[in-house]
Copies of this chain bind each other. A is one copy, B any other.
Amino acid sequence: MEKQPIRVAYLGPEASFTHLASDGMFHGEWLVPHATIPEAIEAVSEGRADYAVVPIENALEGAVSLTVDYLYHEAELYIAAEILSPIEQNLMMHPSQADGWEQVESIHSHPQALAQCHKYLHYRFRGVPLVEMTSTSGAARFVSENPDRRIAAIGNRFAAEKYGLSVVQDNIHDFHFNRTRFVVLSKTEGALGVPGGSTKPKTTLMINLPKDNRSGALHQVLSVFTWRRLNLSKIESRPLKTGLGDYFFILDVDESMEVPMMRGALEELAALGCIVKSLGTYHTYEKKPAPRVIS
């Protein structure tokens, strides 16, 4: 019997940044685009996929609240891995128009991608109309379908390849440290073991503080980690959706759930009256920036 391919549900469309991140980890497997984050997550919950890949945090924008809230309120899934991916934007045109790229007539992309290249566009193409599209890969497809027009799309290299476009200017995004964290979600707990992961494991906890005196409670929660020298690489709050001022907290701890110090910390959190949801222990896979392409 042949080996079944792994089924991966990702936030689409095809050639999106999530697709790019998914392809890096699951190249050659069965990758299926989903229109929304909840749909990709539900594909795993309902057993139609083995893993879901969705964005969870961006260096500029912060938490992807749809993912965080869905994992807290709706889904019972675990993080099997995280993928750190640079967000690189490129200016791409139909090959037959590429020579005249400096006289481009309009530039098409997702509003967020246009915003990420705001300074570049301001200095290089001031006055050129910017046309908002529903996705960067949709913009690339639109450009490929209009070879007679001198128009450009902004998006990732993957989209340029997929739609046969030439990258006429690469890495045009303003902030070169911009990265997105994607999580690989699974129905079963356990770190995905593929080559290239971080040696140090990481654990994500979602903590609901006891209702009385929440600010003192957060201080106690941090004490539980601090005196054990358990390092928190992240702490972020999200509204509980029960009223203004009610939050839950997402903590990333640089340690495995299996070590005695972590087990002790979790026991104490329960004793303090916290409700703790562990999303599991996993490794980080860091995608290196792509080599520069000469158009």
Binding site for B on A (CB under 8 A): 57-62, 65, 84, 175, 177, 179, 181, 213-216, 218-219, 222-223, 225-226, 231-239, 241-245, 247
Contact = CB atoms under 8 A, between A and B. Distances in A.
9 contacts: A57-B244, A59-B239, A215-B235, A216-B226, A219-B219, A219-B222, A219-B223, A235-B237, A236-B237
A80 to B, nearest CB: 19
B244 A231 contact: no
Contacts of A239: 58-62
A223 B236 CA distance: 18
B62 A243 contact: no
Per DSSP, are chain A's interface residues mostly helix, strand or loop, or mixed? mixed
Contacts of A223: 219
Please tell me how many copies of the chain the complex holds.
Answer: 2
Contacts of A60: 239, 241
Nearest to A232: B215
A15 to B, nearest CB: 23
A238 to B, nearest CB: 6
Contact of A219 (B58, B61, B226, B244): B226
Contacts of A236: 237, 247
A219 B222 CA distance: 6
A191 to B, nearest CB: 20
A181 B175 CA distance: 31
A187 to B, nearest CB: 27
Contacts of A243: 59, 177, 179
Nearest to A227: B219
Given A60-B239, A239-B60, A245 B226 contact: no
Most B CB contacts (10 A, CB to CB) among A58, A62, A65, A231 go to A62
A215 B244 CA distance: 25
Given A62-B65, A65-B62, A235 B247 contact: yes
Contacts of A175: 241
Nearest to A241: B60
Contact of A59 (B57, B65, B222, B244): B244
A215 B222 contact: yes
A244 B84 CA distance: 9
A60 to B, nearest CB: 5
A231 B232 CA distance: 23
Contacts of A232: 214-215, 218
Given A216-B226, A222-B219, A231-B215, A61 B65 contact: yes
A111 to B, nearest CB: 13
Contacts of A61: 65, 239
Q: 10 smallest A-B Cβ distances: which pairs?
A: A215-B232, A219-B222, A219-B226, A62-B239, A59-B244, A236-B237, A177-B243, A60-B241, A216-B226, A179-B244
